């Protein structure tokens, strides 16, 4: 069996994108990597139950109680102990510090529910993104997977997928469609692509 890249998934909520990654791993769409740990920025979220059901080691950290510095230090410790070489932000709602990001150059990816550079940057997450797209009146939105750098949503784009906006869309309806048609497809595909590239770079 060929070597696999350990993946640490960082979450903050229900974990639908985590589930997409777990399903892709189970179906063989992700073959170059394996999820080795799930870390939540708050306790009691459903993403942790998803990890539990899949038999993946999972950790609930309370970022608000710990403070950013201690939270990041503990997250880095868990990642190091797990042997993960790729970090996937899947519905992770905290902005990571430049110090943390620079410790993992080219090894952190994020999914954003819009076509970057539209409707992105600080404060643009969750339903806010879809509200902004509808308010602006665009006819097409989508999702983007990108590398994470110190600028929120500013890293190099890995994959994008467009989703049409329909008459009568609400932010909630649009959010669900973007998840199903874009996020849940391009996040696992991007994770596989980056893991394969990591393996390839190690062979050289």
Provide the annotated active-site residues: 112
- Tell me whether residue 148 is exposed, middle or buried, using C-beta atoms within 10 angstroms of its C-beta: 0 to 12, 13 to 18, 19 or more: buried
DSSP alpha helix (H) spans, 16-170: 16-27, 46-53, 63-66, 68-82, 98-102, 127-136
- Tell me whether residue 196 is exposed, middle or buried, using C-beta atoms within 10 angstroms of its C-beta: 0 to 12, 13 to 18, 19 or more: middle
| C-alpha closest to that of 164 among 182, 140, 195, 137 | 140
């Amino acid at each position: 069996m060929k070597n696999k890249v350990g993946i640490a998934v960082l979450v903050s909520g229900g974990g639908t994108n985590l589930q997409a990654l777990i399903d892709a791993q189970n179906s063989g769409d992700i073959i170059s990597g394996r999820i080795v740990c799930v870390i939540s920025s708050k306790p009691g979220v459903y993403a942790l139950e998803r990890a539990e059901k899949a038999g993946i080691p999972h950790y609930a950290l309370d970022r608000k109680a710990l403070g950013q510095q201690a939270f990041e230090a503990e997250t880095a410790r868990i990642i190091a102990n797990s042997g993960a070489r790729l970090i996937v932000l899947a519905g992770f709602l905290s902005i990571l510090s430049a110090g943390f990001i620079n410790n993992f150059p080219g090894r952190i990816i994020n999914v954003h529910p819009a076509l970057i550079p539209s409707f992105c940057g600080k404060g643009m997450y969750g339903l806010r993104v879809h509200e902004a797209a509808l308010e602006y009146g665009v006819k097409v939105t989508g999702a983007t997977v990108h590398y994470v750098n110190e600028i929120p949503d500013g890293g190099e784009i890995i994959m994008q997928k467009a989703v049409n906006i329909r008459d009568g869309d609400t932010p909630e309806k649009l959010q669900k469609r973007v998840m199903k048609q874009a996020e849940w497809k391009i996040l696992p595909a991007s994770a596989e692509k980056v893991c394969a590239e990591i393996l390839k770079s190690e062979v050289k």
